A and B are shown apart, each in its own frame.
Chain A
Amino acid sequence: MKKIEAVIQPFKLDDVREALKGIGIDGMTIYDVRGHGRQKGHKEVYRGQEYEVDLLPKVKIEAIVSSDRVDETVNTIVESARTGKIGDGKVFISDIAEAVRIRNSEHDDEAL
């Protein structure tokens, strides 16, 4: 099992969810987050007082998938979240040791 964490542009969330649904991935957790990578922030001015806002709003998608579906899932996210501009985000993949479904104690792939 792998955990896929994708930080994407907030306005791309619906596209990504549709695309994941299309390949049968419909379990995920969504976070509203703020952050930045190479993308610089923007300037805000209140009554002449200037602020550099370098933490920008992003959405983080977290999905756990069985190991044989990782490439397909990551490609789907990358394709559907891409605009080609700086600030599109990143995808991180890591190992998951165990998973348990609380309702009936199913384990691992069956629990996903």
Chain B
Amino acid sequence: MRKTTIYCLVLLGLLATPVAAVAQDGIDTGDNAWILTSSALVLMMTGPGLALFYGGLVRKKNILATMMQSFIMMALMTVLWAIYGYSLAFAEGSGPLGTFVGGFGHVFLNGVGMEPNGSIPHLTFMVFQLMFAIITPALITGAFAERMKFSSLLLFMALWGTVVYFPMVHMVWGGGFMSPDGALPCLDFAGGTVVHISSGVSALVMALYLGKRIGFPSEVMRPQNLTFSFVGACLLWVGWFGFNSGSALAADGLAAVAFVNTQFGAAAAVLGWLLIEWIRDGKPSMLGGVTGAVAGLVAVTPASGFVGPMDSLVIGFVAGIVCYLSIAVVKAKFGYDDSLDAFGVHGVGGTVGALLTGVFARVAIGGTGGLVEGNPMQFVNNTGGALLTWVFAAVATFVILKIVDAMMGLRVSEADEIEGLDISQHGEEA
């Protein structure tokens, strides 16, 4: 008798669960679970993913400082995001300025709680977006590795987040003029423009402004430990499923498309990079393979929720080749010291992705067609959005650099640079 009662209770429980899942104030527990998981995956891209990827590429005397430059964003951007960053990105803006930057409606996370935003709690949406605000500035650090003061880095990144990143998010995803119903509707599913072009172009400006490392390019500055870089790149790859597929903001069919596109773009880019590297340099390298993967992941990011899986193969393959050429040929020709190729991978890969999203977008996937479906306007819009982002990021970064430079300088002293940033900035050794 008691057994029967228990069975009945269990059965009731089973029946009740799915009802509760959808009926809880409009929150879908499946969606919420996936976006929270994705948030954790995206955080993992910065630490340890990017920290290892970059850390392995520098010389031994700078590995801790390089890892720290990524890691500190997990703290700095989180606090800024909590206080006013989320608000500037996603709160409704006022007047004509509202198309560029959000308002103060969500300052101190005012009005951001457990209530639904779409099918997930508003807090879930907020924390998912936070992880993007962490990795974007961390990506830039590759451009000025091995020579920037930690104190200047903190001030620069706080200003960069405030002036460049938060407004960029608002313009493209927060209802600004590059949003779907804005004046220049750009397709950017998970951050090709917002994350990769903005960080990559800013990285180039920083590499040019700060100047070369002492000894570049005559001195041999080979990576100290490519094993770290391999592990870091593979963690980035896995984390990118959260980045792209999570950007569906639901655990639905679109999330599956973005997931598959992520995998396909990365895979094709590995082959593209290795092919051209093998032809030009004589050997297919491990570093080339994993760098190609990251380039492909970058390029497929804006496209992942708008194109089909076969399109992703093309986007990835093209990105692998173009990013290789930008680093091995263009960088060598101009001689700027983008130490870890933040521009070559993210700026160039992001631009390739933004343009090709305008080419390959499919109505059947994301509701908008691109050039291949007879809608050249989308290609024009995406090109315009990429161009505007280039100009905005470059100008704003230059101005911020001027300010920080005047206040406290940007580079470590020559002696500190030669000694290494681990000792001179942090007082420790790996």
Q: Which one of A44, A47, A51, A53 lies within 8 Å of B328 (CB-CB)?
A: A47
The answer to the question of B24 belonging to the interface, with a C-beta cut-off of 8 Å to chain A, is no
Closest chain B CB from A50 CB (angstroms) = 8
- Choice from B220, B282, B283, B341 contacting A47 with Cβ under 8 Å: B341
Q: Which residues of A contact B155 (CB under 8 A)?
A: none
Q: How far is the CA of A48 from the CA of B323 in the complex (A)?
A: 11
Docked-complex contact B341 and A44, CB < 8 angstroms: no
**B288 touches which one: A47, A50, A51 (CB < 8 A)?**
A47
Chain A residues lying within 8 Å of B2, measured Cβ to Cβ, are: none
CB pair B220–A48 under 8 Å, yes or no, is no
Q: Which of B220, B282, B332 lies at the interface centre, i.e. has the most chain A CB atoms within 10 A of its CB?
A: B220
Is the C-beta of B223 less than 8 angstroms from some C-beta in chain A?
A: yes
Complex contacts, B222 vs chain A, CB 8 Å: 44, 46, 51, 53
Q: Using a CB-CB cutoff of 8 Å, which residues 32-84 of chain B contact chain A?
A: none
Q: How far is the CB of B283 from the nearest CB of chain A, in Å?
A: 7
For A44, give the chain B residue with the smallest CB separation.
B222
Q: What does the 1/0 interface line of B275-316 toward A look like (CB < 8 Å)?
A: 001001111010110010000000000000000000000000
User: Which residue of B217, B223, B324 contacts A48 across the interface (Cβ within 8 Å)?
Assistant: B324
Interface SS majority for chain B = helix
CB of A46 within 8 A of CB of B223, answer yes
Q: B9: shortest Cβ distance to chain A, in Å?
A: 62
User: Residue-by-residue, is A49-73 near B (CB-CB < 8 Å gives 1, otherwise 0)?
Assistant: 1111100000000000000000000
Interface residues of A: mostly helix, strand, loop or mixed? strand
**Closest Cβ–Cβ distance, residue B394 to chain A (whole Å):** 23
- A49 contacts B332, C-beta separation under 8 Å: yes
Residues of chain A lying within 8 A (CB to CB) of residue B327: 47-48
A44 to B288 alpha-carbon distance, docked (Å): 13
Q: Does A45 contact B (CB under 8 A)?
A: yes
Task: Tell me the minimal C-beta distance from B347 to chain A in angstroms.
Answer: 15
For the complex formed, measure the closest distance between the CB of B102 and the CB atoms of chain A, giving whole angstroms.
Answer: 38
* B329 contacts A by Cβ under 8 Å: yes
Chain B residue, CB-CB nearest to A51:
B220
Number of A-B contacts (CB under 8 A): 34
Query: Chain B 205-240, CB within 8 Å of chain A: the 1/0 string?
Result: 000000000000100101100000000000000000
| A contact residues around B287 at 8 Å (CB) | 46-47
Q: Closest residue to A48 on the B side, CB-wise?
A: B328
Q: How close is A40's CB to chain B, nearest CB, in angstroms?
A: 15
Question: In whole Å, how far is A54's beta carbon from the nearest beta carbon of chain B?
Answer: 9
A46 touches B285 (CB 8 A): yes
Least CB distance, B341 to chain A, in whole angstroms: 6
> Which residues of chain A come closer than 8 Å to B291, judged between CB atoms?
47
- B329's contact among A48, A50, A53, by CB below 8 Å, is which? A48
- Which residue from A48, A52, A53 sits with its C-beta under 8 Å from B332? A48
Q: Give chain A residues whose Cβ lies under 8 Å from the Cβ of B220.
A: 51-53
Find the B residue at minimum CB distance from A45. B281
CB distance from B320 to the nearest CB of A (A): 12
Give CA–CA (A53, B287) in the complex, Å.
Answer: 18
**Chain A neighbourhood of B282, CB < 8 A:** 45
Q: How far is the CB of B367 from chain A (nearest CB, A)?
A: 38
Q: A50: which B residues are within 8 A, CB to CB?
A: 281
In contact, A45 and B332 (Cβ under 8 angstroms): no
Least CB distance, B289 to chain A, in whole angstroms: 11
CB distance from B54 to the nearest CB of A (A): 13
Chain B positions 319-353 with a Cβ under 8 Å from a chain A Cβ: 324, 327-329, 332, 341, 344
Residues of B contacting A51 in the complex (Cβ-Cβ under 8 angstroms): 220, 222
Report how far A53 CA is from B223 CA in the complex, Å: 13
Chain A residues within an 8 Å CB radius of B223: 46
Taking CB atoms, residues of chain B closer than 8 Å to A45 are 281-283, 285
A47: B residues at CB distance < 8 A: 287-288, 291, 324, 327-328, 341, 344
Cβ distance A46 to chain B, nearest Cβ, rounded Å: 6
* CB <8 Å contact, A48 and B341: no
Closest to B226 in A: A46
In the complex, A70 Cα to B283 Cα: how many Å?
46
B199 to chain A: closest CB distance in Å?
19
Q: How far is the CA of A53 from the CA of B324 in the complex (A)?
A: 23
Distance between B25 CB and nearest chain A CB, rounded to angstroms: 51
Give B283's nearest chain A residue, CB to CB: A45
Which residues of B sit under 8 angstroms from A44, Cβ to Cβ? 222
A contact residues around B217 at 8 Å (CB): 49
A24-53, CB < 8 A from B: 44-53
**Selected A-B contacts with CB under 8 Å, 19 pairs:** A44-B222, A45-B282, A45-B285, A46-B223, A46-B285, A47-B291, A47-B324, A47-B341, A47-B344, A48-B277, A48-B327, A48-B328, A48-B329, A48-B332, A49-B328, A51-B220, A51-B222, A52-B220, A53-B222
Known interface pairs A48-B327, A48-B328; 6 further A-B residue pairs with C-beta atoms within 8 A, sorted by A's residue number:
A46-B287, A47-B328, A47-B341, A48-B329, A48-B332, A49-B217
For the complex of A and B, 8 pairs with smallest distance between CB atoms = A48-B328, A45-B281, A51-B220, A47-B327, A51-B222, A46-B287, A46-B222, A48-B327
